[in-house]
Structure 1
Amino acid sequence: MNREEINNLFGVTDQQLDRMAAEYEDGDWNGTVGQITPGRPRIYDEELETVSFRLPKSRLKAIDADAKAKGESRSQFLRHAIDQALLASGV
């Protein structure tokens, strides 16, 4: 997940976060944190399954380089690639 996706998940902007941080650091923040849920935020509203398969090292290096250039993890890159392939095939 990149920074913009995380901000969207929590309904905030970088500017709002910077303002809240400045208020907190100055001792003027009156906000609340809200409910804290341990663990990573859910990325889907359904149960997830692990998928495992093998790729040539050169293909994996290309995936990692492209993912890094886009600010994504390998898993994010592969999920997006699969989503795009499914959309292209009308699923």
Structure 2
Amino acid sequence: MTVLTAEEVEKRFGYTPEQLDKMEADATAGVFHGEPSGPVVYAPGYGPGRPLMFDEEMKQVGFKEPVNKILLIDIRAAQLGMKRSEYLRHLVDEDLKLAGIA
């Protein structure tokens, strides 16, 4: 996770710390600035968050790896134009195909 300093946030996004504090206070109070881009849609049975990717319920799968290996995974995923999660899903899908069970 990358943590930006206040100066980096202002340079990258054009917001001062004071503006961000005001936006946070407004959002906490239920006041949202800007124009809506469309309705908020939730997947059936789910609240806010990422929409379903597939037509069936999903569960999170996780495991720990050494930081060095994660770096290598991220490098390989980037070489293939993928995010880490896409790359790991791809590896699982390919292995299941090879095993003849998918």
TM-score (norm 1): 0.52
Asked if 1:66 corresponds to 2:76, the answer is yes
Distance in 1 (alpha carbons) for counterparts of 2:94 and 2:50:
24
* Residue 40 (structure 1) shift: 4.9
- Mapped partners of 1:89, 1:66: distance in 2: 23
Amino acid at match of 2:57: E
* Superposed displacement of residue 41, structure 1: 5.2
Deviation at 1:79, TM superposition (A): 0.5
Q: Which runs of 4+ in 1 moved over 6 A?
A: none
Which of 1 and 2 has higher RCO (CA within 8 Å, sep 6+)? 1
Normalized per residue, the structure richer in helix is 1
**What SS class does the counterpart of residue 82 from structure 1 fall into?**
helix
Query: For each residue in 1:36-89, what CA deviation from the matched residue of structure 2 results, as whole angstroms up to 9, or x when unmatched?
Result: 673655321111101111112222111101111222111111101000111111
* Structure 1 counterpart of 2:77, one-letter code: A
5+ residue gaps, structure 1, are 1-35
Q: Identity of counterpart residues, as a percentage?
A: 38
| Match of residue 13 from structure 2 | none
| Partner residue in 2 for 1:6 | none
**Equivalent of 1:85 in 72, 77, 95:** 95
Alignment coverage as a number of residue pairs? 57
* AA in 1 matched with 2:86: Q
- Larger Rg, first or second structure (1 or 2): 2
